[in-house]
Structure 1
Amino acid sequence: MSGKLTVIVGPMYSGKTTELLSLIEIYALGKKNYLVFKPSIDIRYSEEHIVSHTGLKAPAIKVTSSDELRKTFAEHAGQLDAIFIDEIHFFDENIVQIIEEIIYSGVNVFCVGLDMSYKHRPFKTTVQIMGIADEVIKKKAVCHICGEYKAVVSYRKVDDTESEIDVGGMEKYIAVCRDCYNKLTGRFKGN
């Protein structure tokens, strides 16, 4: 029987990793076998854990590429009930095929990540993962400007690079609603 793919997306500070940690706890309490992965680029809070912005954490295997994730998974093939992947948007597009292989091997996969960059553009990897998912959970955050619970965009406060891949926390990013994003950027004029 094939596994199930659950994807949790939304802006920064929407509780994506917190929800992933809750799911990990359920598997741990059920004495299930699982692995937790994180991209090696994400060292904001810890190199050996996935960590929520509130400080909750779980041990994780850091990987530099989707191929490294595949290799680590293969070493545990036939022994796992699930894998959990944090910050899916940092992975290369090959992760989509690897996740499909894992699901068809009978293992459940849970991924979290940003669905859009600070430029209000979808992350291609995340969109492709959402397309093959059994379940997509889209989360919101409290807007750091107006205070309403309708933030769907991560806004970068610091213009230190043009790259859409730029790891950071509160020192660089806030969550904003569409209206506040438009006021901050002026990108969608005429509204």
Structure 2
Amino acid sequence: MNETMSKMIQTPHLEEGYLELILGPMFSGKTTQIIQIHNNYSYIGKKVVVINFSEDKRYHDTMLSTHDRKMIPCILSDDLVDNWSNTLNPHYRDLNEADVILINEGQFFKGLKDVVLDMIEKQGKIVYICGLDGDFKRQKFGELLDLIPYCDKVTKLTSLCSVCRNGKKGLFSCRVTKETAQVVIGSDNYKPLCRSCYLHNTKE
């Protein structure tokens, strides 16, 4: 082993970051899991910051909430890049001093990939992101899936099919309204369906 290689191996690394993606359709418990992670890290004294997409105010104007109204404080934002990199942003210090960063509705944030890679690989942050793995047409949604090659763990959650109601897994978010835009926020606009029910309800 040459001297250069020896020095490379012996050089201590910066604290390693961690990235976990929590994916799944509507009503699969993604936000519930994020809240549990928040509570676990808070219990051991870690500084945890939660970011939620600013238009997601289904249950509360300032808190991250599950469908059954379990809530935790959060930063509401539509610009993750500015929150993370602009020193004049009111949330810059909290984010950069956090041990753990939890991002809800990750599919909506532009610039997600570059910001998260900076968080975990340059700043050594622990990051969890939850969001949809596909839109109502089962197409790629935002930059969330682009982070899979970089993450430590991917968790795929499922719901139960709300149509056949026989216990089959609800894999896909089916839109029950006529809007065609990719971004339509609101739990009343979607139902989780199994594969068979999804194909039956979306065939043209």
For normalisation by structure 2, the TM-score amounts to: 0.85
| Alignment correspondent of 1:82 | 100
The worse-fitting range, judged by mean Cα deviation, of 40-49 and 103-112 is 40-49
Residue 5 of structure 1: how far off its partner (Å): 0.3
| Alignment correspondent of 1:182 | 199
* Alpha-carbon spacing, 1:177–1:22, altered in 2? closer, same or farther (3 Å): same
Return the letter of the residue paired with 1:24: H
| Alignment correspondent of 2:109 | 91
Do 2:112 and 2:144's aligned partners in 1 also have CA atoms closer than 8 Å? Answer: no
SS at match of 2:55: coil
Residue 43 of structure 1: how far off its partner (Å): 1.3
SS at match of 1:144: coil
Do 2:101 and 2:128's aligned partners in 1 also have CA atoms closer than 8 Å? Answer: yes
Residue 87 of structure 1: how far off its partner (Å): 0.4
Residue 44 of structure 1: how far off its partner (Å): 1.1
Instruction: Give identity over the alignment, percent.
Output: 27
Return the letter of the residue paired with 1:182: L
C-alpha distance in structure 2 between counterparts of 1:84 and 1:102, whole Å: 11
Return the letter of the residue paired with 1:101: D
Return the letter of the residue paired with 2:49: L
C-alpha distance in structure 2 between counterparts of 1:179 and 1:82, whole Å: 39
| Alignment correspondent of 1:45 | 59
C-alpha distance in structure 1 between counterparts of 2:196 and 2:96, whole Å: 48
Do 2:95 and 2:101's aligned partners in 1 also have CA atoms closer than 8 Å? Answer: no
| Alignment correspondent of 1:16 | 30
SS at match of 2:196: helix
C-alpha distance in structure 2 between counterparts of 1:77 and 1:13, whole Å: 28
Q: Unpaired segments of 5 or more residues in structure 1? A: none
**Matching of residue 56 in structure 1 with residue 70 in structure 2:** yes
The worse-fitting range, judged by mean Cα deviation, of 125-134 and 72-81 is 72-81
**Matching of residue 117 in structure 1 with residue 117 in structure 2:** no
Residue 38 of structure 1: how far off its partner (Å): 0.6
* Alpha-carbon spacing, 1:97–1:55, altered in 2? closer, same or farther (3 Å): same
Residue 120 of structure 1: how far off its partner (Å): 1.5
C-alpha distance in structure 1 between counterparts of 2:174 and 2:94, whole Å: 39
**Matching of residue 128 in structure 1 with residue 128 in structure 2:** no
Residue 76 of structure 1: how far off its partner (Å): 3.4
**Matching of residue 172 in structure 1 with residue 177 in structure 2:** no
Do 1:37 and 1:69's aligned partners in 2 also have CA atoms closer than 8 Å? Answer: no
CA RMSD in angstroms comes to 1.5
Q: Unpaired segments of 5 or more residues in structure 2? A: 1-14
C-alpha distance in structure 1 between counterparts of 2:108 and 2:97, whole Å: 26
C-alpha distance in structure 2 between counterparts of 1:83 and 1:112, whole Å: 11
* Alpha-carbon spacing, 1:185–1:77, altered in 2? closer, same or farther (3 Å): closer
For normalisation by structure 1, the TM-score amounts to: 0.90
| Alignment correspondent of 2:50 | 36
SS at match of 1:37: strand
Do 1:141 and 1:175's aligned partners in 2 also have CA atoms closer than 8 Å? Answer: yes
